[in-house]
Amino acid sequence: MPVRIGDEAPDFAADTTEGKIRFHDWIGDKWAILFSHPKDFTPVCTTELGYMAGLKPEFDKRNTKVIGLSVDPVSDHKKWAGDIKETQGHAVNYPMIGDDNLAVAKLYDMIHPNASGGPRTAADNATVRSVFIVGPDKKIKAMLIYPMSAGRNFDEVLRLLDALQLNAKHAVATPVNWKPGQDVIIPTSVSDEDAKKKYPQGFKTLKPYLRTVAQPK
């Protein structure tokens, strides 16, 4: 059964490059990014994991843990890490799950048999490029899925995390292409009367259903 936004993130035990973990215990009271890549020692994945390593301090600032996964064994992850550091300029600084029995990949529906678009090959037993953002309550807050051929935009994952955390703290929505510091949207569930109490500094009404306000601090 596929996982969906709002579901509890399936818990699991796994071997990682930083030892054994139980996923929910590992998350603790933080947010988490679980992302999969198809295969170690491949070009697109090498660029992705290196970029994520460079971006990790930004996730740290946001009280968010990062963990990677593929169906390769932990021993391969450790060998590959040297190539990532050499070619991308960043050493992998987060754990990588060795899911060689496909247990976690199946829990999170990361195996897409028709992903290659042609006759089934061994590559179809690799994970697609999935991203799951999990909240401190262990609920799935967002998901992104990319094909094996297209590298992800991890800056967008960071932007999405900012939007989710802002919503969790202030119950606001974010408009198209929103970036931190820009105006946000007052949900339609909030009446004008309640909005005036919540935002005494005022807000802008473009339509009865479209009201914007400066981003809450």
Both 207 and 106 in one domain: the answer is: no
Residue 105's pLDDT is: 94
pLDDT number for residue 112: 83
- Residue 136 domain flag: yes
SS (H, E, C) the chain: CCCCCCCECCCCEEEECCEEEEHHHHHCCCEEEEEECCCCCCHHHHHHHHHHHHHHHHHHHCCEEEEEEECCCHHHHHHHHHHHHHHHCCCCCCCEEECCCCHHHHHCCCCCCCCCCCCCCHHHHCCCEEEEEECCCCEEEEEEEECCCCCCCHHHHHHHHHHHHHHHHHCCECCCCCCCCCCEECCCCCCHHHHHHHCCCCCEEEECCEEEECCCC
Whether 4 is in a domain gets the answer no
pTM as predicted: 0.93
Supply the pLDDT for residue 217. 87
Residue 54 maps to a domain: yes
Q: Which of 14, 32, 33, 45 is an active site residue?
A: 45
The whole-number pLDDT of residue 123 equals: 54
Task: Specify whether 74 is located in the same domain as 180.
Answer: no
Residue 157 lies in a domain: no
Residues 137 and 181 in one domain: no
Indicate which CATH number applies to the domain containing 73.
3.40.30.10
Partners of 173 in the β-ladder:
185
- 104 and 190 housed in the same domain: no
147 and 175 share one domain? no
Confidence (pLDDT) at 2: 83
Q: Is 165 inside any structural domain?
A: no
Catalytic residue at 130?
Answer: no
Does one domain contain both 176 and 83? Answer: no
Same domain, 126 and 21: yes
Count of domains forming the chain: 2
In a domain, 7, yes or no: no
What is the C-alpha to C-alpha distance for residues 126 and 122, in angstroms, rounded to an integer?
8
User: Is the same domain home to 105 and 68?
Assistant: yes
Range of the domain at 118: 13-151
Q: Are residues 130 and 23 in the same domain?
A: yes
* pLDDT by residue, tens only, the chain of 217 residues: 689 999 999 999 999 999 999 999 999 999 999 999 999 999 999 999 999 999 999 999 999 999 999 999 999 999 999 999 999 999 999 999 999 999 999 999 998 877 665 554 555 578 999 999 999 999 999 999 999 999 999 999 999 999 999 999 999 999 999 999 999 999 999 999 999 999 999 999 999 999 999 999 8
Q: Does 128 share its domain with 197?
A: no
Q: Look at residue 5 and tell me if it is in a domain.
A: no
Domain membership flag for residue 1: no
